[in-house]
Chain A
Amino acid sequence: MYSLKRLFPYCLTLIFSVCYLAPALAATEEVVVYSARKAHLIAPLFDRYTQKTGVKVTLLTDKAGALVQRLLAEGKRTPADLLLTVDAGNLWQAAEQDVLATVDSKQLQQQVPIWLRDPDGRWYGLSKRARTIIYNTERVQPAEISTYADLAQPKWYGRLCLRTSKKVYNQSLVAMMIARYGETRTEDVVRGWVNNLAAAPFSNDTKAIQAVAAGQCDVAIVNTYYFGRLQRKQPDLPIALAWPNAASGGVHVNVSGGGVTRYAKHPQAALRLLEWLASEEAQGEFAELNLEYPVNPEVPAAKQVQAWGSFSEDPMNLSQAGRFQARAVRLMDRVGYR
């Protein structure tokens, strides 16, 4: 018994700490958010929402794939009310795994253009990111740039830089190309890209942009906000954005977005938060925190973003990005796009 007595305080501490640290039952109204959009890009908005409405927002960030697995495992007992993530492919996959509930909201339907949300109303885009072509202003005339497919032409031999095909942005871009042109033609284009590479694919967009700026290559395909961040730090780099496919489909846009979880404990509160995020009041800041474009057509983009010029965007429904993502990944593997 001697040893039991000695262990007793430890047991007590253990029990106490487990009880104390177990998720507290919400006293006030609360929305629990699982988010693959990073805390520093979203927390300021949640703070504003809490100030305005008194609703507490609890945030847990992780990768999209892991969060979906957690939602699946927690099932009916999940504490999460809202899932936020980046990339339409991930949103489509969350809906496919049945962790999102269908919501019918007039407000969301007005605020979010039809091609940037799920046809069944399970997820809604909240900010747009354009994936476009960046070029070195000293080595390329803007008129030379016409379409994504054109970058596969021999005239770009040894002049193209790409990010790795393991990044979901490229998978969505190629998936949308498959949806538009079919697999055979897309495969020819991507093979052409790989053939034209000036350097092995980069691990991130910023590296690709820096390679263009340094003259390692002349053009690259990147998301605009990476350029925006670099522009803030080094405004004098010899690089600029071009808007391809003006006459044929438009620039590829992707979204960050979210949906109410299937087993939300506070579905109404979660929906109100989602509607607020898409409203004119929140959209400006939501997009500007990451130099993206608002989805709400009533809200203008930030000044820096507007200065890059306007473009026509691809109006095909983004759920295609998810539907064709696995085929896109296999296609890129086949042509040796690493």
Chain B
Amino acid sequence: MPQADRLWRWASWFTAGLVLAPLGMISLSWTELNPETWAHLNQTLLPTLLRNTILLIGGVGIGVSLLGVALAWLTSLCEFPGRRWLSWGLMLPFALPAYVLAFVFLGLFDFSGPVQQGLRTLFSLPDNWSFEARHPLGVILVMTLVLYPYVYMLTRTAFMAQGRSTFDAARSLGLSTWASFWRVSLPLARPAMIAGLSLALMEALADFGTVSVFNFDTFTTAIYKAWFGLFDLHSAAQLASLLLLLVLLILWLEQYSRGRARITQPVKTPQERIRLRGLPCVLAVCCTWGVFALAFVLPMTQLLSWAWALRHELTADYLTLTNHTLVLGAFAAGLTLAGALVLALTRHHQNRTSIRISVQLSTLGYALPGSVLAVGVMLSLTWLDQRIADLMQSLTGTDPGLLLTGTLAALLIAYFIRFLAVAYGPVATNLQQLQPSLSEAARTLGAHTGIIVRRLYLPMLQPGLLTATLLVMVDVMKEMPATLLLRPFGWDTLAVRLYELTSEGEWERAALPALILVCTGLLPVLVLARSDPREQATHKL
């Protein structure tokens, strides 16, 4: 069906074009070089920044992989007390903005915090006894706790698709438990794990909020310094485009190392989980509940106690803010998911270079620091807007003003560009697990593309789509720079309120919007946890 194929192709090129517009705007900065800024950064900051960035990426990479895979394995294939509840409870830390967790941790653990004060009194240590909480390990820990859900959620989907039979087969062929896991289960889940890992690393690379709470300088520090300190947006954009190049290189290396291997899974009926007993059971319980306590219960308790003290600030405003947050999250998730589906399906059916490249480019929006991308999107939208207005002015004689800038549509486009990668990861890895023979069979039976998508892919891709919806929706609700810059007048969200209070250093007052944001983020988690067909199926066993 070449007609339909061409349509799909055009759709994915269009999507890639949409993402490329702001990236192109940012790359345009290379037309103007400011040697003074570059020489300065080179001489003073860059060596340290690069070292710190590598340290951060390495640490967070190891952290989220270990935590994400271990938790996913335990909750998807094993049975232990609290598993059912934790399997979605462990997604919750994702609803917490990373810099909020960072602040809560520092508040508790630094010199003037209750932990060190308590230790000094308890063991009558000298007044100046202390340990440095603002340590690189602290940043790595905080980021790991917030970002592991990417790996966890994607890998979990893969483990559940494997089911127990692959693992059992490996065991029955004489491999030990560990060997079965390392040599069979994990390699099968590798594409999903890598997809989650790359999302987590892209976010860590582009992060500015968390590292600045710790005053830990990374590559993004240089970007912000060039823009806000040296008033040199050009150099900032140049640095940002270098960051993009680095991400592209990493993604390419990963694909290269994966080679042409393709992993597909037969459709599974739900199976019983491995029931843990004795020491493994105790360890599993400690590990899972420990992570949950550290990443969610502890910060939430602190936020609750701050918010409770200022509960009189809970006004009807918050209803509007929550409403805006939810509407934006839902619309953006729908739009982004549709885009990701188009990309993933086109890639699945048409192995052309142009498609592979446009998919790769479409997922780059996530690798840029939020503020830089927001400015890129704003610049390309206003450019288009100005041309439209010029045209209408020359046709009608009256200036219509800017029609796109400052509308909801502009903001949604920005979310789409930023979070396409987040939606693409889960959908694409899910799609890779399906056997191509399925759609070939459907085609042989005379079904056209529309029917194949609706009756075959949408049902089969449900786990991936659910994960993607959840990730994008929560990410949009937490998103700040684009929301700030592109929201229509009056469209303040919870993240905007959170920004206004935290940037004034009013962390305790910020606890209230933060809590409401987390609770709003719980809504999609709850809805999706309930509607997950695999969970329901296993309950019946």
Real binding pair: yes
CB–CB B382/A166 < 8 A: no
Q: Is the CB of B117 within 8 A of A21?
A: no
Binary interface encoding of chain A residues 32-71 relative to chain B, with 1 for a CB under 8 A from any of its CBs, else 0: 1000001111000000000000000011111101100110
Alpha-carbon gap, A3 to B221, bound state (A): 50
A44–chain B nearest beta-carbon distance, Å: 13
Which residue on chain A has the smallest CB distance to residue B385?
A77
- A329 near B229 with CB under 8 A, answer yes
Question: Across the two chains, which residue of chain A brings its CB closest to B500?
Answer: A38
- Is A325 within 8 A of B231, CB to CB? yes
A119 CB-CB contact with B under 8 Å:
no
CB of A215 within 8 A of chain B? Answer: yes
Contact A200 B215 (CB under 8 A): yes
Enumerate chain B residues within 8 angstroms of A338, measured Cβ to Cβ: 215, 217
Given that A66-B374, A215-B127 are contacting pairs, would A32 and B489 also be in contact in the complex, using a CB cutoff of 8 Å?
yes
Judged by a CB distance under 8 angstroms, whether B30 is at the interface is no
Q: Residue A93 contacts which of B127, B231, B386 (CB distance < 8 angstroms)? A: B231
Judging by beta carbons under 8 Å apart, are A333 and B40 in contact? yes
Stretch of B11-19, B341-349, B404-412, B518-526 with 4 or more beta carbons under 8 angstroms from chain A: B404-412
Q: Does B423 contact A (CB under 8 A)?
A: no
Residue B83 is within 8 A (CB to CB) of chain A in the complex: no
Residue total for A at the interface (Cβ-Cβ under 8 A): 57
User: Interface centre among B229, B374, B507, by most A CB within 10 Å?
Assistant: B229
Complex: how many Å from CA A148 to CA B110?
27
Q: Decide if B382 touches A73 in the complex (CB within 8 Å).
A: yes
A321 to chain B, nearest CB (A): 12
User: Is B245 positioned at the interface, with any CB of A under 8 Å from its CB?
Assistant: no
Interface assignment of B462: CB less than 8 Å from any CB of chain A? no
The proximity string for A residues 98-118 relative to B, scoring 1 for CB distances below 8 Å and 0 otherwise, is: 000000000000000000000
For the A-B complex, the count of residue pairs with Cβ-Cβ distances under 8 Å equals 139
CB A198 to nearest CB in B, in angstroms, measures 9
Q: Which residue from chain A places its CB closest to the CB of B399 in the assembled complex?
A: A77
A204 to B, closest residue via Cβ: B505
Q: CB-CB contacts of B20-54 with A at 8 A, as 1s and 0s? A: 00000000000000000000100011000000000
A21 to B224, CA, bound (A): 32
Q: A66-B371, A202-B215, A211-B112 are in contact. Are A21 and B40 (CB under 8 A)?
A: no
Could you tell me if B378 and A22 are in contact, using CB atoms closer than 8 angstroms?
no
Give A153 to B407 CA distance when docked, in angstroms.
55
Are B489's CB and A58's CB within 8 A? yes
B211 to chain A, nearest CB (A): 10
Asked if B378 and A69 make an inter-chain contact with CB atoms under 8 angstroms apart, the answer reads yes
A322 to B388, CA, bound (A): 36
B505 touches A166 (CB 8 A): no
Other-chain residue from A23, A66, A74 in contact with B488 (beta carbon distance below 8 A): A23
Chain B residues numbered 499-523 whose CB sits less than 8 Å from any CB in chain A: 500-501, 503-507
Is B228 interfacial (CB 8 A cutoff)?
yes
**Residue A140 CB within 8 A of the other chain:** no
Contacts of B484 in A (CB 8 A): 61-63, 66
Contact across chains for A326 and B229 when beta carbons are under 8 A apart: yes
A171 touches B111 (CB 8 A): no
When distances are taken between beta carbons in the complex, the residues of chain A under 8 Å from B227 are 65
Question: In the complex the two chains form, is A23's CB within 8 Å of B229's CB?
Answer: no
Pick the contact of B505: A63, A206, A325 (CB < 8 A): A206
Q: Check B112 against A213 for contact (C-beta < 8 Å).
A: yes
Instruction: Determine which residue in B110, B225, B228, B485 has the highest number of CB atoms from chain A within 10 A of its CB, and name it.
Output: B228
Task: Give chain B interface residues in 378-433, CB to chain A under 8 Å.
Answer: 378-379, 382-383, 385-386, 389, 399, 401-403, 405-409
Please pick, from A41, A204, A211, A326, the residue contacting B230 in the complex, using a CB distance under 8 A: A326
Which chain A residues numbered 159 to 217 have a C-beta less than 8 Å away from chain B? 164, 166, 168, 171, 199-207, 210-211, 213-216
- Verify A214–B213 contact, CB threshold 8 A: no
Interfacial chain B residues near A74, Cβ < 8 Å: 382, 402, 405
Query: Counting CB contacts under 8 A, is B492 at the interface?
Result: yes
Among B110, B371, B406, B505, max chain A CB count under 10 A is at B505
Minimum distance in angstroms from A165 CB to a CB of chain B: 8
A39 touches B505 (CB 8 A): no
Name the B residues within 8 Å of A79 (CB-CB): 401-402, 406
- What separation, in Å, do the CA atoms of A62 and B374 have in the docked complex? 12
Please report the C-alpha to C-alpha distance between residue A115 and residue B496 in the assembled complex, in whole angstroms. Answer: 33
Q: Is the CB of B112 within 8 A of A73?
A: no
* Residues from 429 to 466 in B contacting A, C-beta threshold 8 Å: 450
From B130, B378, B382, B386, A216 is in contact (CB under 8 Å) with: B130
Cα distance A269–B408 in the bound complex, in angstroms: 27
Complex contact A17–B408 (CB within 8 A): yes
CB of A156 closer than 8 Å to a CB of B: no
**Does chain B have a CB within 8 A of A238?**
no
A329–B224 touching, CB < 8 Å: no
Which one, A61, A70, A229, contacts B500 given CB within 8 A? A61
Q: Is B233 an interface residue (CB 8 A)?
A: yes
Most buried by B among A61, A73, A74, A216: A73
Indicate if the CB atoms of A214 and B402 lie closer than 8 Å: no
A329 touches B225 (CB 8 A): yes
Asked if B360 is at the interface of the complex by the 8 Å CB criterion, the answer is: no
Are B379 and A73 touching (Cβ within 8 A)?
A: yes
Known: A61-B484, A66-B375, A326-B231. A77 touches B402 (CB 8 A): yes
- The residue that A203 contacts in the complex, of B130, B212, B230, with Cβ under 8 A, is B212
Chain A residues, CB < 8 A from B232: 326
Chain A residues near B407: list those with CB within 8 A: 18, 21-23
Which B residues are in CB contact (< 8 Å) with A276?
none
Q: Which of B346-384 contact A (CB under 8 A)?
A: 371, 374-375, 378-379, 382-383
Q: What is A's interface to B at a CB cutoff of 8 Å? A: 3, 17-18, 21-23, 32, 38-41, 58-63, 65-66, 69-70, 73-75, 77-79, 93, 96, 164, 166, 168, 171, 199-207, 210-211, 213-216, 226, 229, 325-326, 329-330, 333-334, 338
8 additional A-B pairs beyond A38-B501, A202-B215, beta carbons within 8 Å, are A23-B406, A23-B488, A39-B492, A65-B233, A70-B378, A73-B379, A203-B212, A213-B112
Chain B residues with a Cβ under 8 A of chain A: 40, 44-45, 106, 110-112, 117, 127-128, 130, 132, 134, 212-215, 217, 221, 224-225, 227-233, 371, 374-375, 378-379, 382-383, 385-386, 389, 399, 401-403, 405-409, 450, 481, 484-485, 487-490, 492, 496, 500-501, 503-507
21 contacts between A and B (CB under 8 A): A3-B450, A21-B407, A21-B488, A22-B403, A22-B406, A38-B501, A39-B500, A66-B375, A73-B382, A96-B231, A166-B224, A166-B225, A166-B229, A200-B134, A203-B213, A207-B106, A207-B110, A216-B130, A229-B506, A330-B44, A338-B217
